[in-house]
Amino acid sequence: MKPIYILGISAFYHDSASCLLEDDKIISAVQEERFTRTKHDPSFPINSIKFCLDYANLTPDKLDYIVFYEKPFIKFERLLETHFLHAPKSLIQFVQSMPLWLKERILIKNIIKKEIEEKLNEKLSPNTKILFCPHHLSHASSAFFPSLFEKASILTIDGVGEWATATLGFGNKNKINFFYELKFPSSVGLLYSSFTYYTGFKVNDGEYKLMGLAPYGNPHSEKTKRYIKTIKEKLIEIKEDGSIKLNMDYFAFNTSFKMVNEKKWIETFGIPPRKPESKILTEYADMAYAIQNVLEEILIKMAKFLKEITKEKYLVIGGGVGLNCVANSKLLKEKIFEDIWVQPAATDAGGAVGAAYAVYHMYLGKERICNGKDKMEGCFLGPEYNSYEIEKTLKKYDNLQFYKEENQDKLCNLIAKLINEKKIIGWFSGRMEFGPRALGARSILADARDPEMQKKLNLKIKFREGFRPFAPSVLWEDTQEYFEWDRPSPYMLFTAPVKENRRKNIPEDYYEWDIKDKLYFIRSDVPAITHIDFSARLQTVHKETNYKFWNLIKTFKELTGYSIIINTSFNVRGEPIVCTPEDAIKCFLKTEMDCLVMEDFIIFKKDKKEK
Amino acid sequence: MEHKQFKKEIVERTFLIYIILFSILFLITNHKIFPILILIFALSGAVFPKVPVYLYKFGNFIGELYTKLILSIIFCFLICPISFIKKLQKKKILEKNSFWEEIDFKIEKENFEKMG
C-alpha cells in the first residue's frame, strides 16, 4: 500500500522546524536554525523542508498533507483581544505587531504554498491538503504519539500558544482528549521567562541558564525564603490543583515588549534587573532558586490533579517547560506517576512532529502501534554526511591535518586516549540530533574527572558563563555506579543525584559561599559533571540506538575504569549546534578544541599536531 | 532576478495593505476621503504601474511611519472605544477554587481544515 507522507511545520515564533512522517515513522526532523545559523530562527523553515524532502527522495507534489502547528486566526484573535483589553497601553505593541500579521502570518496557507513552490521550484499537488493543528494539541501529540506508552496522562505547558498556556489531557491509543486548559495571560512559561529576563538572560533562550543558576542560590537564606513568599503572595496565586493566575500589575508582556513591570519588581524584590553579561550576584542566584522552587510546586500540584482525573500510571510532557529537567526529576521523585516521558524537542520545534502525528492518528484515524520503544529514533533525525563530502570540505582548509581511520575500534582507542590526556574532542558522527540537546552526533567531549574541565570548557571552548554545568554521558549498563537512577534517560531530560560514595564532604558553611567559590569546590570524583547540588543532567547511552558513541565510552572505560564522559553541544555561545562538516570545522578552528572527529576522519590543527 | 521579483512583491503587498487600511478606515469613520484615496491609489497603480514603486521608495522613508500612523488611528478610533466598552462590561470576578477552564474544543476532522 502506498505510504502516506505528512509534512509538519512549526514557524514564526521561535525554533522553526519541519518534520516528515512516512505513515507513523519519522523520516526526518530538523530545526531551521541549523541551516541558517541563526539561533532559534523563527523564519519559514524552507531549508529544513528541503532537507526533509531530499532525505526521503520526495518532491513536494508527493506530499499528502502539510500541517502547520497552530491556528493562526485564533492566535490573531488573542492578540486583538489583548489589545482591546489593554488599550491605550498596548498602542506600541499594536502598531509594531499588526503589519507583520497582516502582511504574512495571517496568510499562512498562501505562504506555505508559495514558499515551497517558489523556493523548491516544484509545484505541490492539487491533492495536497494544508491543515492546521491547535498549538497545544501539537505539543500533546508530540509528547504522546511518539512515546512508548499505550495510554498516558498528558501535560502540556509552555509560554503561550493560541490562548492556552497549559493543558491537561489523556491519550489512549490513537486518541487524545483534553480536560482543562489554562488561558493566557495565566502562564507558567511566561512567569518563568519573566525571571529569565530579570536575571539578565534572553527570553526563550536563557531559561535553561536560569535553571542552571538556581542551585547556586542559598535555600536557607532569609532572602531566598522572602523571594519565594513574594512570588506566591504578590506575583501569582496558586490553587491546590496547580492552576495559577498572574497578578498582571507585575507583568508587562501583554502591553509591551518587556516582560515585567520593572518599577514594581524593584519595589518588591529590592534589586534591579540584572544587566546581561554583568557579574551574577548571589541575589540573582537566590531569585533563580526561588522561581525554580515555585515552578516545581506548580508542576507537582498540576500532576497530582491530573492523576486524580485520569488515574493513569504514566505521564507524558510537551511544551517548552518540559525541558526543565530539574522539575521533571522532581515530578518523578514525587512518584505521582510510575514513569514520565518528555518529548526531547519539547519547544515549538517539536510542534512540527506533533502536528504531523495528530494528522496521522487523529485526522486520518490511523492505528497507533506501541512496541515498548519510543518513535524518536534517539533523536538522530537530521542530516548526515559521507566520507566523500567530509574529505571534500577538509581539503579546502590548509591549516588542518587529517587522516582516515576506518577501523572503528582503533578510532575509539585513539580518542579515548586523547580524552584521558585531558584533550577536548569535537565529535561529529551520523545524523544530527533534532531538539536542543547534543546526544553524541554533534558533541564536544571531554574527561569528567578533570576538576579544571568545567572552567576550561566554559571559558575557552564554549565562551559562556563560568557557572554553567556540563552534562555526562554514561553507559546505560553502568548508570547506577554513578547515579541514583534506575531508568533510561537517553535525551538528557532528567537530572539524577551523583552517588553518595562518589561525593566529597562539603564544609558546613558551603551554602553561604560566593558563587565562584562554590563553583570551583571539588564535589565528587567526576567533578566536571557534578553540579553544585550534586546533581547531573545525565544521558544514558545505549548500545542499540547509539552504537558508535557507546563504543567510544566503553573504550574509555577499558582505559580508565570510568564509563562516563562530558558531553556538551558542538557549538559556541550564541550559535546553533553545528550541522555540516563546514560548520564543525569553523567551530573547531574558532575554539581551543584539540581534535575533531568527523565520521572516519581524525583532524588536528596543524600547529597543535606539530606540538 | 529573484531579488527583483521579491522587491516587486513587497511593493505590491505594501500597496495593497494601504488600500485595505483605507477601506478599514472608511468602514470605521465613514469619511468620504478614504474611498477617494482608495480610488486614487488603485487608479494610479493601474494606469501608472510605477506609482506603487515610487510610493514604496518614498514609503521606505515615510512608509513605516505612514503605516504606523494609520494603525495608530485605527487603534484610537476602534480599539480604544471597544476596550472602554469591554471594561465597562467587565463583570466582577468571583472567588474561584480553580483557574483551569474546561476545554470546549472538539477534535474533529473538520477542525484540522480550518485556520481558526
Q: Choosing among B13, B88, B115, which should be mutated to test the A contact, i.e. which has the most A CBs within 10 A? A: B115
pLDDT at B90 over 70: no
- Counting one residue from chain A and one from chain B, the pairs whose CB atoms sit within 8 A come to 104
In B, which residues are within 8 Å of A358 by CB distance?
Answer: 112
In B, which residues are within 8 Å of A136 by CB distance?
Answer: none
Q: How far apart are CA A369 and CA A145, in angstroms?
A: 9
pTM, full prediction: 0.88
Domain A5-143+348-373: CATH superfamily is: ATPase, nucleotide binding domain (3.30.420.40)
In B, which residues are within 8 Å of A74 by CB distance?
Answer: 116
Cβ within 8 Å of B, A 125-164: 129, 131-134, 137
The pLDDT tens digits of the residues spanning A564-607 come to 999 999 999 889 999 999 999 999 999 999 999 999 999 999 87
| Pairing label, strands A442-446, A564-569 | antiparallel
Rounded average pLDDT over A281-304: 97
* Facing B86 at nearest CB: one of A85, A237, A363: A85
Q: How many alpha carbons lie under 13 Å from residue A36 in its C-beta half-sphere? A: 20
Q: Cβ B101–A186 below 8 Å, yes or no?
A: no
In the chain, the amino acid numbered B64 is E
Q: What does each C-alpha distance from A106 to A11, A136, A137, A466, B14 come to in angstroms?
A: 13, 19, 20, 43, 15
* Chosen CATH of A182-342 out of 3.90.79.10, 3.30.420.40, 3.30.70.260, 1.10.1740.10: 3.30.420.40
Using an 8 Å Cβ cutoff, are A453 and A447 in contact? Answer: yes
Judged by average pLDDT, the poorest of A75-79, A92-96, A159-163, A501-505 is A92-96
Q: How far apart are CA A170 and CA A308, in angstroms?
A: 12
Q: Which DSSP helix (H) or strand (E) runs through A496?
A: strand A496-497
| Crossing angle of helices B33-47 and B50-74, rounded to 10° | 160
Closest residue in A to B64 (Cα) is: A99
Using an 8 Å Cβ cutoff, are A61 and A128 in contact? Answer: yes
> Per CATH, is A387-610 categorized as 3.90.870.20?
yes
Q: How far apart are CA A467 and CA A454, in angstroms?
A: 9
3-state secondary structure of A492: coil
What length is written for chain A?
Answer: 611
Q: Does A121 touch chain B (CB under 8 A)?
A: no
Q: What is the DSSP string of A11-67?
A: -SSSS-EEEEEETTEEEEEEETHHHH--TT--S--HHHHHHHHHHTT--GGG-SEEE
Q: Cβ B99–A129 below 8 Å, yes or no?
A: no
In the chain, the amino acid numbered A102 is L
The pLDDT tens digits of the residues spanning A7-34 come to 999 999 889 999 999 999 999 999 999 9
Q: Cβ A95–B71 below 8 Å, yes or no?
A: yes
3-state secondary structure of A427: strand
Is-cis flag, bond preceding A185, omega within 30? Answer: yes
Confidence label for A251 from pLDDT (cuts 50, 70 and 90): very high
Domains A182-342 and A387-610 share a fold: no
In B, which residues are within 8 Å of A85 by CB distance?
Answer: 83, 86-87
Domain ranges of chain A: 5-143+348-373, 182-342, 387-610
Query: Which neighbouring-strand residues pair with A246?
Result: A236
Domain ranges of chain B: 17-84
Residue A311 has phi, psi (to 5 degrees) of 60, 20
Task: Return the number of other C-beta atoms located less than 10 Å from residue A417's C-beta.
Answer: 14
ipTM over 0.95: no
In B, which residues are within 8 Å of A90 by CB distance?
Answer: 79
* Facing A132 at nearest CB: one of B75, B79, B112: B112
- Distance (Å) from the C-alpha of residue A88 to the closest C-alpha of chain B? 6
The pLDDT tens digits of the residues spanning A452-463 come to 998 889 888 888
Confidence label for B1 from pLDDT (cuts 50, 70 and 90): very low
In B, which residues are within 8 Å of A362 by CB distance?
Answer: 107, 112
